[in-house]
Structure formats: C-alpha cells, structure tokens
Structure 1
Amino acid sequence: MADTIFETGRLVLRTEAPGDLDWWMENMNTPAVMRHLAGVQPREVFESKFARNAAGIAESGLGFWFMVLRDTGELVGHSGMCPIISPHAPEALQGHPQIGWALAERFWRRGLALEAARAVLARGFGHFGFDTIYAQTSDSNLASTAMMGRLGLRRVPELDYADPDFPAQDNPTTIYAISRDAWRADQ
C-alpha cells in the first residue's frame, strides 16, 4: 500500500504502489520521456532504481514520489529529491540534495511538474531544513532548463561536469541551485 507524502492543488505525491513499475515501463520508458535521461532502458534497470528509491525513502525520507492526479487517481509521473551520488559530479555536490521530475508525455505542458516541484522545494526547505537544493540538466533539455528558471533556481556553472553515462548532446551536466533565503524571498 502506498503512503501519501503530501498533496498539492491537483496532485497527490505518494510512495510506490503495486503496478507502478509496469505503468512506468509503458508510459515513462519511452524515447520522448527518456530523451534527456539516458534513453530507454531495460526493465532490470528500473527494478534496481525503484528498489534504491524505496530504500532511500525508508532510510531518510528522500526520494522520488509518484505523482497522481487528485481528481482521477491517474498516475502522471514523479517528482522529489535525492542526494547527488554521481561518481562524475564534483566533490562539492556529492551528497547534497537535488530536485527532479519526469512526467508521461500526455501530461506535459499542463503545469503539473511545476506544481509538484514547488511543493517539493517547500518540503526540502521546510520539513528537511536544507540550506540549498540543486538541480541537474543539460543545455539540450530546454523544458527542464526553463522550469528551473521558473522555480527560481540559478546556474552554477563552476559545478558543471562531464558525465560519460550520457550522450554528447546531453553534456556537460549543467547545475542549478536555489538557497532557502532566495526561495523564501520568492514566496
């Protein structure tokens, strides 16, 4: 049984429920959704990611929560925070919280990712008490780059890094950040 983590105006963010992996493979593991996320992957990769995510939530409360429409109960994607653990990321980023999101293509351009991400930032600065929250993308991911700007995150180019796990068009990994003070000033 999934646990509700929090709700927004249109969304419930919850832990994994039975059937979520099957839904993910059908709706999220597509060329369009995975374009900037290392491409379509075999089921075993997501089984491992889901297990790590569930363990992270159980251990620290941090992870990516599944986004469900409040009105219909329909699963739309995920959003959340986790520690930066890429072996390619600079030492200054290691272990710090990063925010992220991904939605099934049919839910794009409805403001759902923005709504969820705003609530995730509020939870990060409020419930978890973080001083700074980071986000990672690439210049080729125009939608995420634009959303980071709408969320108030600013570029931190000195922390950009090359990640050989991603194709050339998605390198370098570009880093954005927002401090608790900057977030509060924008509320």
Structure 2
Amino acid sequence: MQVLTQRLLLRPWRDSDRLPFAQMSQDAAVMEYLRPLATREASDAWIDFQISHQSSHGFCMWAVESRASGAFMGAVGLLRIGFVASFTPAVEVGWRLARPFWGQGFAVEAARASVQFGFDELHLAEIVAHAGIRNIRSRRLMAKLGMSHDSAADFDHPRIPEGDPLRRQVLYRLTREAWI
C-alpha cells in the first residue's frame, strides 16, 4: 500500500526508517507540541504501533519519502483514535515532519493525500484532527485542509497529565460532503 503525490511517497514503514525517525523525534522543535518519544525504544514502539495499525485497519501514519531524493521526511497519515472523548470513535489525520522539510508545503500535500485516501478508499464519513491549543502551525494546516474548528468539542487529552500545557486540545472536523 502506498499513496503518491506530486513530490511525496506515503508508504509502509521499513527498518531503515527507524534511525531517521528516532533522530527526528529527538528534535525539540519537531516534538514541541507532541508527546515525547524520549528513547530509541519509544520511537521504535511508535513505529511498531503504526505497522500493527496498518495491518489491522489498512492505514496508519505512513512513512513519508521524497520522490525526488528518496529521503525519509517524517510520518503523515490516518489513525483510529485510541482514547474516549465526546467525538470518538473517530479517525484522525496527523503529521510530523523533520525540520528540514518545514515551510515547503509537504505536510499539507501529504495530509491532503491522506484525507483523500480516507474518503475515497476507506469511505469515511468524517476525519478529525486535534492539536495542543497553542499549536498554531498545525491549526493553520487543518484550516488549509478545509477542516472546521469545533470549539464545543475542544477537550482535555486523557493521556496527557493535568498541568501539562499539551493537555488542552482543539478539535477540527472535515466531512466527506465538505471535502467533495
């Protein structure tokens, strides 16, 4: 399974992705609004979860590769949300790219392709996205995807401890009808 865009390949994970993903996950700027993956073991476990999710559901946060250079760029894709909230069950679109690839439209390009896959191949009725309330870059990306902020559904992430600035999350939604 793979998803192609003009510049990107979203594909299953390879063992060769583990080191660059772990290195990306140690970059404080990349991880500023994400739950930390403090060790190589945690990073590998995250990839193992994606591989398992792909096997079970037919999608995951895929590895992103440059079609021009073959370079590993990060992870973008879809996930079933694994916690209980007012909007679950749901499928979310998410992204994390290595810093050298920021500001070039790659995250939007990959996220659009993921959303298209979700609506066309998975026949989802809705896709959501959530981020820490101060994560302005991700909120801009959600808006570029045509997602609407549903402030009534903003929530405290149950897997983030009280007092952590990432606990309060904004929720954005996109229906298949709005996408078409």
Aligned-residue identity in percent: 26
Counterpart among 121, 124, 134 of residue 140 in structure 1: 134
C-alpha distance in structure 2 between counterparts of 1:60 and 1:118, whole Å: 19
Counterpart among 83, 89, 102 of residue 95 in structure 1: 89
Counterpart among 105, 110, 116 of residue 116 in structure 1: 110
Residues 155-186 of structure 1 deviation map (CA, whole Å, 9 limit, x = unaligned): 112222112526632231111000000011xx
C-alpha distance in structure 1 between counterparts of 2:71 and 2:109, whole Å: 16
C-alpha distance in structure 2 between counterparts of 1:85 and 1:154, whole Å: 22
8 Å CA contact retained: 1:83, 1:94:
no
Residues 128-167 of structure 1 deviation map (CA, whole Å, 9 limit, x = unaligned): 0000000010221110001101111011122221125266
TM-score (norm 2): 0.93
Q: How far is 1:40 from its partner?
A: 4.7
TM-score (norm 1): 0.89
Is residue 181 of structure 1 aligned with residue 141 of structure 2? no
User: Structure 1 81/38 Cα, relative in aligned 2: closer, same or farther at 3 Å?
Assistant: same
Residues 12-44 of structure 1 deviation map (CA, whole Å, 9 limit, x = unaligned): 111111221111111233111011002352122
Q: In the alignment, which residue of structure 1 is the partner of 2:155?
A: 161
Q: What's the secondary structure of 1:168's corresponding residue?
A: coil
Superposition RMSD on alpha carbons, in Å?
1.5
Q: Which ranges in structure 2 are unaligned for 5 or more consecutive residues?
A: none
C-alpha distance in structure 2 between counterparts of 1:119 and 1:19, whole Å: 23
8 Å CA contact retained: 2:160, 2:167:
no
